[in-house]
Amino acid sequence: MFNSQAPSPDDLPSSAQLLRSTVFAALAAAAILVSVVLPSEYGIDPTGAGSALGLTEMGEIKTQLAEEAERDRQASGDNATSPAIDAAPQQGSSLMERIIRELGISSAYAQEVRQDEISVTLQPGEGAEVKLAMLKGAKANFSWTANGSKVNFDAHGDGGGENISYEKGRGAAEDSGVLEAAFDGNHGWFWRNRTTEPVTVTLKTDGAYSEIKRMM
């Protein structure tokens, strides 16, 4: 969100485009998982593509070597308690974790694509903060207006020990653009009313985020 002018609506992704991107990314990840990762890593070949590409044999060798290493470890006495039942859960857990990682290659698109509108009324001197819960790389179109008045604002993000300031302004009547999350966390706006009259700020958002919330 480093632009000072609102982008053209034609340049912004629509909700339908974001949804299509999510579907395409999920299908591509699933295809890679089934045809490449499972055969080459675990010797599991549900489609037969792994055998045709010579990947299934590679996966079977890896699995066999892992089992032999586990048996050697158990025989050496490193795991005296319940040695016979440890290997299988580890293999299953590893497989599940790998599946999650592979299907999560487009995590920024995996968030819910949604639209929201929220209004906050600020008394003289009062401030308020509204943020979106976003994953790194996720984008949200936004526009806010002070409805004929002016406010000071600070667009920023925080999460996981990280902080970032996107843009600040004084005496602004409105702003719009695209907010792109620099990291996983909460990203949004803080407004303060420095006028002598109440001010209502109305925010509209549209994009990939899981939650919109008033922080204060």
pLDDT tens-digit series, residues 99-142: 545 444 445 445 668 999 999 999 999 999 999 999 999 999 99
Closest by CA position to 40, among listed 65, 22, 57: 57
Listed residues 86, 108, 130: the one ending a domain = 108
Q: For a pLDDT cut of 90, what percent of the chain falls above it?
A: 46
Q: Which has more pLDDT, 15 or 153? A: 153
How far apart CA 175 and CA 144 sit, in angstroms, is: 6
Q: Are residues 194 and 177 in the same domain?
A: yes
Residue with tokens 């549209």: 206
Q: Are residues 73 and 93 in the same domain?
A: yes
Q: Where are the alpha helices (DSSP H) in 33-150?
A: 38-42, 49-53, 55-75, 87-103, 107-110
Question: How confident is residue 185, by pLDDT bands cut at 50, 70 and 90?
Answer: very high
Q: Are residues 127 and 175 in the same domain?
A: yes
DSSP E strand boundaries for the chain: 113-122, 127-134, 139-145, 151-159, 162-172, 174-180, 185-192, 199-208, 211-214
How far apart CA 82 and CA 70 sit, in angstroms, is: 13
Question: How confident is residue 71, by pLDDT bands cut at 50, 70 and 90?
Answer: confident
Contact 21, 1 (CB under 8 A): no
| pTM assigned to the model | 0.54
**Can you read off the two tokens belonging to residue 134?**
């976003």
Question: How confident is residue 212, by pLDDT bands cut at 50, 70 and 90?
Answer: very high
Question: How confident is residue 20, by pLDDT bands cut at 50, 70 and 90?
Answer: confident
Question: How confident is residue 5, by pLDDT bands cut at 50, 70 and 90?
Answer: low
Q: Are residues 118 and 178 in the same domain?
A: yes
Q: Are residues 88 and 123 in the same domain?
A: no
- Indicate whether 147 belongs to any domain: yes
Listed residues 74, 108, 142: the one ending a domain = 108
How far apart CA 65 and CA 55 sit, in angstroms, is: 16
